[in-house]
């Protein structure tokens, strides 16, 4: 299958590229950071450039992962955030429909009940894609952890790597409770959905158990002899637990928290397997 990944240099996109390229012909785009020599430059806020790449590549599937995941940046720069995370989805959805391709949008738990600009833009993009595309899948991860070929973007998991490699202070919030998502799980669910020819579904992807950043950091970093200090926040974001039973309905892979942590520790120890050239 020919797959176009928009945002293949991102923390999430780089792992999806690596995983999906095992079984598919994959083309990746980047904006400013060319993580792999084969990636093609694309600014998703330029509708003409989006149209050109869709026509030139003619993919059967487009995976759209080129959004800012930085909620603080979105809050401080709401216009740019809407341009990147929301308005650009109009052209992407239109072109996907024009060339009759399946559009897989990597959304977020933040879209379920938006409480900030980031969540609002993700929710708005979901609506654009549902209303304008004929063949779509919306995947909603929670906070994502797992090894990616992109180890440098300031993402939560990459901070764990810095604790190990650069001995930065490991201090993490112990107030906000959430279900984490294993990065490798997203690629596996995409593979399963493509094999099942599934379409027009909104699916959460996470483990069932609830944790905190402190607990997650401790469980992963203790294997590398890193001490983690808990931080308490007076006003943590509201905790909620998402029902994952739809994954059972569609017979999709699920991970337990314990399995996820074990896999991630192995990934860190075997990190040479996660390089892009
Ligand atoms: N990380 C998480 O925990 C998490 C959780 C839930 C959902 N998600 C979703 O996963 C996606 C990726 O998140 P991430 O954590 O991997 O983010 P990230 O590493 O910060 O990457 C953001 C990406 O956006 C790209 N980008 C910025 N401006 C662009 C433009 N004008 N045109 C095209 N691409 C542009 C950047 O490309 P360059 O690198 O080439 O400059 C970068 O690769 C987002 O949709 C996010 O909502 C992430």
Rounded distance between C-alpha atoms, residue 185 and residue 255, angstroms: 8
| Three-state DSSP state, 6 | strand
Instruction: Determine contact, residues 137/124, Cβ cutoff 8 Å.
Output: no
Q: What is the pLDDT of residues 4-26, one digit of tens each?
A: 999 999 999 999 999 999 999 99
SS3 content of the chain, % helix, strand, coil (to 5): 45, 15, 40
Q: What is the pLDDT of residues 80-111, one digit of tens each?
A: 999 999 999 999 999 999 999 999 999 999 99
Low pLDDT (below 70) residues in the chain: none
Q: 225 burial class (0-12, 13-18, 19+ CB within 10 angstroms)? A: exposed
For residue 181, the CA-to-ligand 1 centroid distance in Å is: 16
The CATH classification number of 2-147+180-208+241-257 equals 3.40.50.720
Structure tokens belonging to residue 44? 């998703």
Q: Mutation test of ligand 1: which of 62, 67, 86 has the most ligand atoms closer than 8 Å to its C-beta?
A: 67
Ligand 1 atom nearest the C-alpha of 44 is: 32
The verdict on pTM exceeding 0.85 is yes
| CA distances for 33 relative to 36, 41, 121, 171, angstroms | 9, 9, 23, 29
pLDDT at 239: 78
Domain boundaries, the chain: 2-147+180-208+241-257
Identify the residue whose tokens are 């799980």. Answer: 185
pLDDT at 238: 75
Rounded distance between C-alpha atoms, residue 13 and residue 28, angstroms: 9
Rounded distance between C-alpha atoms, residue 226 and residue 220, angstroms: 9
Rounded distance between C-alpha atoms, residue 175 and residue 170, angstroms: 16
Residue nearest to atom 31 of ligand 1 (CA): 43
* Ligand 1, CB within 6 Å, residue ranges: 7, 9-13, 30-33, 42-45, 65-69, 84, 106, 108, 122, 141, 143-144, 150, 153, 155-156
- Fill in the DSSP letter of residue 229: E
For residue 225, the CA-to-ligand 1 centroid distance in Å is: 31
């Amino acid at each position: 299958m020919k797959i176009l990944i928009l945002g293949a240099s991102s923390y999430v996109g780089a792992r999806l590229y690596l995983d999906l390229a095992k079984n598919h012909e994959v083309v990746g785009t980047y904006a400013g950071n060319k993580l792999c020599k084969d990636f093609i430059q694309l600014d998703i806020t330029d509708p003409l450039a989006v149209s050109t790449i869709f026509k030139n590549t003619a993919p059967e599937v487009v995976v759209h992962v080129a959004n800012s995941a930085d909620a603080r940046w979105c809050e401080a720069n709401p216009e740019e955030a809407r341009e990147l995370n929301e308005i650009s989805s109009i052209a992407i959805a239109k072109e996907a429909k024009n060339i009759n391709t399946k559009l897989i949008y990597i959304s977020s738990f933040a879209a379920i009940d938006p409480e900030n600009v980031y969540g609002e833009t993700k929710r708005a993009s979901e609506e654009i894609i549902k209303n304008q595309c004929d063949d779509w899948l919306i995947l909603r991860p929670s906070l994502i952890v797992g090894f990616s070929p992109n180890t440098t973007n300031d993402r939560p998991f990459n901070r764990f790597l810095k604790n190990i490699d650069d001995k930065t202070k490991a201090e993490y919030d112990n107030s906000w409770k959430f279900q984490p998502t294993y990065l490798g799980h997203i690629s596996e669910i995409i593979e399963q959905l493509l094999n099942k020819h599934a379409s027009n579904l909104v699916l959460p992807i996470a483990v069932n158990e609830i944790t905190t950043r402190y607990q997650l950091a401790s469980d992963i970093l203790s294997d590398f002899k890193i001490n983690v200090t808990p931080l308490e926040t007076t006003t943590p974001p509201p905790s909620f637990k998402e029902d994952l039973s739809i994954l059972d309905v569609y017979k999709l892979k699920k991970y337990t928290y314990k399995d996820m942590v074990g896999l991630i520790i192995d990934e860190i120890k075997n990190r040479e397997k996660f390089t892009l050239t």
